[in-house]
A and B are shown apart, each in its own frame.
Chain A
Amino acid sequence: MSLGRGEELFADIDLRREKLHNRAFHAILVAASLFGLVMLVLLILDVLWESYQGLTVFQIDLVQFLTQPSSSRAERAGFGASILASIWLMVLTAILAFFLAVGCALYLVEYAPRNRMTRLIEANLANLAGVPSIVYGLLVLALIVNDAGLGSVILAGAIALALLIVPIIIVASIEAIRAVPSGVRDGSYAMGATKWQTIRRVVLPQAMPGILTGTILALARAIGETAPLIMVGTMLHATRYPDGPFASFSAMPTQIYNWTYQADRMFNGLAALGIVVLLIFLVVLYVIAGYLRKQYEAEGTLTNV
């Protein structure tokens, strides 16, 4: 190949244009990544603006807002009963979902034979995590609320939310348990430990931060869920503090939803403040999850082998 033909080969390449393309592509990618962030900032600004209006125009009293139950009279309405209902929901959901999910994950990783059945279960778990949340709500409405006659109570809501997050926790737990190196297990067996002793004393302690992180992130999803709770049935206004798992309720997201469509505009301010409270709950959960993950990375050097 002669030199002349080589020059000819590159002659049709416009270097400036290529560099321009390069920069344009870069800019598009940056814009794409910023889009989500910008939307989030806009959303938060909007909520804060509405909250500010609620506090100034409608003179919402923050103490009353945080301590009083809701009411159909906006001037008397508060968020306290909904906050408590959400805490009840989270505790019950965590209890229901955690043991089921961790048990399932332990079985799949430690006990289940590597066959088609196991693969089928694992594939289905991934699919379950993608089922729209309202479907779980409908299931609980039909089976638990109506057929079993439990009624529209906190426990029914917690069952719906637990069904929703069990697959998420299972997937997170499987990963955490798989990350425990088999050398550690073998070491335990070599010392004469039984399988259960190995799981309890060696595998679970190692995997627990990962499992807990997954559980907390799943709970953060559950606390913001509205659709399944609406299906289960919630009060228009949470006018009473729930006194147990069998109380009628309206959790934070459903109370916010109900406030947004009331004719009295003051409810819009209340809803915005409610969103702020809900966001604070979410941030706290994420911080806890992040802290656990950090601990996990600092202590869990073994798992990085």
Chain B
Amino acid sequence: MAQSHDPEIRRITRRTAMTTIASIGAVSIAGCMGGGDEGGVSGTIEASGSNTVAPITQVAAEDFEAEYADVQVNVEPEGTGAGFQEFCQANSAFQSASREITDEEIDICGDHDVEYTHYTVGQDTLAVGVHEDNDWCEQITLDELNEIWEFESDVEQWSDVRDEWPDEDIALHARDSASGTFDYFTEHINGEMGNIRDDYSATSQTDEIWDAVEDNEYAMGWGGVGHLRSLQDQDGTLKTVEVESELDGEFYPPEEEYIEGGEYSPLARPLFFYFNHAELEENTDLIASFARFYINNQHEFATEVDFYRATDQDIVDNHDQLDSVLEDIGADPDDITVERQDP
């Protein structure tokens, strides 16, 4: 139950025609499909950022719009990097990101006085995939992965990795350097961002990686596990390789219990959204309501579009952070239309 009050509006901009919240009543936001209550939240939110995270933000946006008829959330993904360029020049209020902000981007944000916080909303998982008929590569260590993929790698055939593996050429497929996925894999497997061999087949589409691996018994690829699973559901001839965990040295498949339990590491990566504090000051109720709505339901949103949930602790941390930002700008966290729901 939430008591609704007028939000603190410092300025009225063209984006916001904030109406007063007239109804002081119960606002039910139970679950992600609550009844369309005539809450007083209104306005337009521009959301830039990652192609990977955009589907989660999009689900959140659609459900938020369904709940509050006067709200528009425009999810316009251009990639994490290009999105930060927008975000750091204050062209977007929200930013989805498949990695954390880099130092260069922090500088740009600094130049434009953009202050922000980031929130963990889910996990993406990179799977190492091979053809179904590949009966030798069941498990792989992190060192072997690095050996195969590192810059100027000598590995040409499977037998170059382990002697008992076949004397056949490995066909390597993975994402190109424009993606946050690439940044993540190369940083965590090859030790440094971009430190990868330059003779693999690079593509901008995860589907193409798995399509290629499906067609070749001697292929290996890495990419988002969501795409791989949906291909498998369609009788695809793919299977995942168990990867060594950096926690305990055991081997784990990219499956829900090990991803959410944290054992499937380092190839599970957190996904974030950022928002601009200046926008929060300007449209406090709108931005904070959307952020809360997103955080409240982030587990459902993430799993609905084939990602994995972050931890319950992440939700609590997200809420704590949001509340403290609200207090910093002089707003009362209890005045926000959408109420905080801890797991």
Tell me whether B234 is interfacial, beta carbon within 8 Å.
yes
Q: How many residues of B contact A (CB 8 A)?
A: 31
Closest to B204 in A: A261
- The answer to the question of A299 belonging to the interface, with a C-beta cut-off of 8 Å to chain B, is no
Q: Does B206 have its Cβ within 8 Å of any Cβ on chain A?
A: yes
A261-B207, A263-B227 known; A236+B306 contact, CB < 8 A: no
Q: Which residues of A contact B193 (CB under 8 A)?
A: none
- What 4 A-B pairs are tightest by C-beta distance, nearest first? A263-B226, A72-B58, A248-B74, A263-B306
B304 contact set on A, CB distance < 8 A: 73
B224 in the interface (beta carbon within 8 A): yes
List A contacts of B75 (CB < 8 A).
235-237
Could you list 18 examples of A-B contacts with CB < 8 Å?
A73-B304, A230-B78, A233-B78, A236-B75, A239-B58, A239-B65, A248-B74, A261-B51, A261-B206, A261-B207, A263-B55, A263-B206, A263-B226, A263-B229, A263-B230, A263-B305, A264-B305, A265-B230
Q: Is the beta-carbon distance between A240 and B72 smaller than 8 angstroms?
A: yes
A2 to B318: give the CA distance in the assembly, Å: 104
Instruction: Give the nearest-CB partner of A230 in chain B.
Output: B78
Contact A239 B62 (CB under 8 A): yes
Contacts of A82 in B (CB 8 A): none
Q: Could you say which of B55, B74, B89 contacts A72, with CB atoms under 8 Å apart?
A: B55
Q: Which of B225-257 contact A (CB under 8 A)?
A: 226-227, 229-231, 233-234
Residues of A246-288 whose CB lies within 8 A of B = 248, 260-265
Over the window 66-110 of chain B, the binary record of Cβ atoms lying under 8 Å from chain A Cβ atoms (1 yes, 0 no) is 000000101111100000000001010000000000000000000
Among candidates A236, A248, A265, residue contacting B77 with C-beta atoms closer than 8 Å: A236
Contacts of A264 in B (CB 8 A): 230, 305-306
Instruction: Answer whether residue B61 sits at the interface, using C-beta atoms and an 8 A cutoff.
Output: yes
Check A152 for interface membership: any CB of B closer than 8 A: yes
With A236-B76, A263-B224, A263-B230 already in contact, the answer to whether A71 and B62 are too (CB < 8 A) is yes
Question: How far is the CB of B73 from the nearest CB of chain A, in Å?
Answer: 9
* A72 and B62 contact, Cβ closer than 8 Å, known pairs A263-B226, A264-B306: yes
The interface residues of chain A lying within 8 Å CB-to-CB of B46 are: 151
Question: Mask for B299-343, Cβ within 8 A of A = 1, else 0?
Answer: 000001110000000000000000000000000000000000000
A86 CB within 8 Å of chain B: no
A82 to chain B, nearest CB (A): 14
Q: In whole angstroms, what is the CA distance A73 to B300 when docked?
A: 13
Question: Chain B residues with Cβ under 8 A from A236's Cβ?
Answer: 54-55, 58, 75-77
Residue of A73, A233, A261, A263 touching B59 (CB-CB under 8 A): A73
On chain B, the residues within 8 Å of A73 by CB distance are 59, 62, 304
The answer to whether A233 and B76 have CB atoms under 8 Å apart is: yes
A188 to B46, CA, bound (A): 58
Interchain CA distance A131-B139 in the complex, whole Å: 50
* Residue A64 is within 8 A (CB to CB) of chain B in the complex: no
- Whether B19 is near chain A, meaning CB under 8 Å from some CB there, is no
B3 interfacial contact with A, CB 8 Å = no
- Cα distance A151–B205 when bound, in Å? 27
The number of chain A residues with a CB under 8 A from chain B is: 21
Contact residues in B for A262 (Cβ distance below 8 Å) = 55
CA distance A260 to B77 in the complex (A): 14
| B-facing residues in A223-242 (Cβ within 8 Å) | 230, 233-237, 239-240
Most buried by B among A71, A73, A239, A263: A263
The answer to whether A72 touches B59 (Cβ under 8 A) is yes
CA distance A210 to B276 in the complex (A): 52
Q: How far is the CA of A166 from the CA of B234 in the complex (A)?
A: 46
> For the complex, is A146 an interface residue (Cβ under 8 Å from B)?
yes
Note all chain B residues with C-beta closer than 8 A to A261.
Answer: 51, 205-207
A235 to B48, CA, bound (A): 9
For B78, list chain A residues within 8 Å (CB): 230, 233
Q: Do A235 and B306 touch (CB < 8 A)?
A: no
* B74 partner residues in chain A, CB cutoff 8 A: 152, 235, 248
Tell me which residues across on chain A come within 8 A of B61, comparing CB atoms. Answer: 239
Chain B contacts for A151, CB-based, 8 A: 46
A-chain residues with CB within 8 Å of residue B229 when the two chains form the complex: 263
Residues of chain B from 19 to 65 with CB closer than 8 A to chain A in the complex: 46, 51, 54-55, 58-59, 61-62, 65
How distant is A144 from chain B, measured CB to nearest CB, in Å? 13
Task: Write the A39-76 contact mask toward B (1 if CB under 8 angstroms, else 0).
Answer: 00000000000000000000000000000000111000
Residue of A nearest to B54 (CB): A236
Q: Which residues of A contact B234 (CB under 8 A)?
A: 265
Residue pair A72, B76 in contact (C-beta under 8 Å): no
Distance to closest chain B CB from A255 (angstroms): 13
In the assembled complex, the CB of A187 is this many whole angstroms from the nearest CB of chain B, namely 56
* A237 x B306 contact (CB < 8 A): no
Q: Are A235 and B76 in contact (CB under 8 A)?
A: yes
A236 to B77, CA, bound (A): 6
Rounded to whole angstroms, the CA-CA distance of A152 and B58 in the bound complex is 17
* Alpha-carbon distance A262/B51, docked complex (angstroms): 10
Q: Which residues of B contact A234 (CB under 8 A)?
A: 76
Beyond A235-B74, A261-B205, A263-B230: 14 further Cβ-contacts under 8 Å? A71-B62, A72-B55, A72-B59, A73-B62, A73-B304, A230-B78, A234-B76, A236-B54, A236-B58, A237-B58, A237-B75, A263-B206, A264-B305, A265-B233
User: Which residue in chain B gives the minimum CB-CB distance to A263?
Assistant: B226
Give the complex CA separation of A248 and B73 in angstroms: 10
**A153 nearest CB neighbor, chain B only:** B74
